[in-house]
Amino acid sequence: MAKYFYSDEGKTTGPVSPKELMSLILDDVLDMDSSVMESRSPQWRKIRDIPELMRFMKESDVRILDWAEERDLTGIEDAQLPLFFNVPPSRLLWMSLFSFGLYEIYWIWANWRFLRFNRRNSTSSYFWRSAWNPFALVDIFRQIAEDRELVSAPSQSDFVLNGWLWLIFLLLLQARHIVVLFLHPPLLLDIAVTLIVLIASALCLLPVQKLINAGNEKAGKGFSPKGLGHYAAILWGLLSWAVILGGWISALFRLS
């Protein structure tokens, strides 16, 4: 298989294999419009124009997509595409509670995706590569607050504190499952802590969402369409609350 040279900060580097090129794309060192040169040819060409590389990427397990292609699937004209994930604050709040926090993951993914495609011109869609890095997740909040197209004047907050608090509440929500499974806390304590943490995690996102709403309203853009994540969150919510309410009702009968 051919190997390729690429340019990084004006310096020619390589040769590297197609698999290594894919890793460079996922790490945002390169993108699909970056020029590379095959080791057997003196010609520089864009990655997207090399059939061998495109075939290798399509056959791999990692999704590397063209944002323009995905954008066409929404049926929304470019000028009307919302800035970031533009949903009503009430939907964010109630869907977060109903989905037991999964909608918040969908929310952070949608905003990460907007930043990646529209602000960094990246073509990879490997969210979990960033999801395990808490600093990368919190930085999404900061980038929203400082986005020049969204915010005409500097925001009063960079929302970094919101990001860290949201992560803490999200971890507490996961810890709740372990505590219930092994320690069996009192029923009323479990109910109170569960509801408080659910509400608190959603409230961390509301100021950020209101900023997004204000920017879109000023730009004359509508709400984001409901994607697969919206309906997956509903399904997850139905299953989660069925299990949790079943456990609470069972514990209530044992008390009586």
Query: Among 63-72, 88-97, 176-185, whose mean pLDDT is lowest?
Result: 63-72
**pLDDT band at residue 43 using 50, 70 and 90 as cut-offs:** confident
Mean pLDDT in residue range 180-187: 85
Cis bond leading into 18, ω under 30°?
A: no
Pick the closest to residue 209 from 108, 137, 135 (CA basis). Answer: 108
67: which 2 tokens? 């944002």
Give me the residue spans of the domains in the chain. Answer: 4-59, 75-255
Q: How high is the pLDDT of residue 69?
A: 47
Instruction: Give the pLDDT score at 40.
Output: 81
Q: What is the pLDDT of residue 34?
A: 80
Percent above pLDDT 70 for the chain: 85
Write b or e for each residue in 142-178: b if 16 or more Cβ atoms lie within 10 A of its Cβ, otherwise e: bbbbebeebbeeebeebbeebbbebbebbebbeebee
What count of other Cβ atoms lies within 10 Å of the Cβ of residue 92?
Answer: 23
Give CB contacts under 8 A, 24+ apart, made by 165-168: 165/200, 165/204, 166/104, 166/141, 166/201, 166/204, 166/205, 167/134, 167/137, 167/138
Lowest mean pLDDT among 122-126, 128-132, 138-142, 235-239: 122-126
Give yes or no for residue 64 having a pLDDT over 70. Answer: no
